[in-house]
Amino acid sequence: MSKGWHILRDGDSVTLCRQLPPRLEFGVQTVLPKVDPVRLAHQIRQDLWRALQNVRGYVPVIRLDPVPDGWAVTAGGGASRPLAAPVMDRARAVLNDPRNRARWVRHAGGAS
């Protein structure tokens, strides 16, 4: 599952990135339940990539930080130029879509 992807751990935090060092130049945030962080990060990355793959220079980065109710998720990455508002809106839509969220949690080992 992680072939070609770097999984960085800093305490209980997990960062999934393609390039080192990770470039988290933009990001959208949410909180998700405590499930397997690596599986969760991969699921989010896949859907975010599908939504933003046509953005020039986009390189995905997903960071999960522990919070009392689960994971504080920052999903974004680097891009070769500043992102327009519609691109950020697309990223937010992916992260806040109830079907995506339920599927991610289910896949990462939790109940939806």
Which amino acid is present at 54?
N
Q: What is the pTM assigned to this prediction?
A: 0.92
pLDDT value, residue 80: 84
Low-confidence ranges of the chain (pLDDT < 70): 1-2, 111-112
Report CA 64 to chain centroid distance, whole Å: 8
CB 62 within 8 A of CB 73: yes
Environment class of 76 (CB within 10 Å of its CB; exposed 0-12, middle 13-18, buried 19+): buried
- CA 13/CA 63 separation, integer angstroms: 7
- CA 57/CA 1 separation, integer angstroms: 23
> 10 Å Cβ neighbour count for 75?
26
Write down the mean pLDDT value for the chain: 93
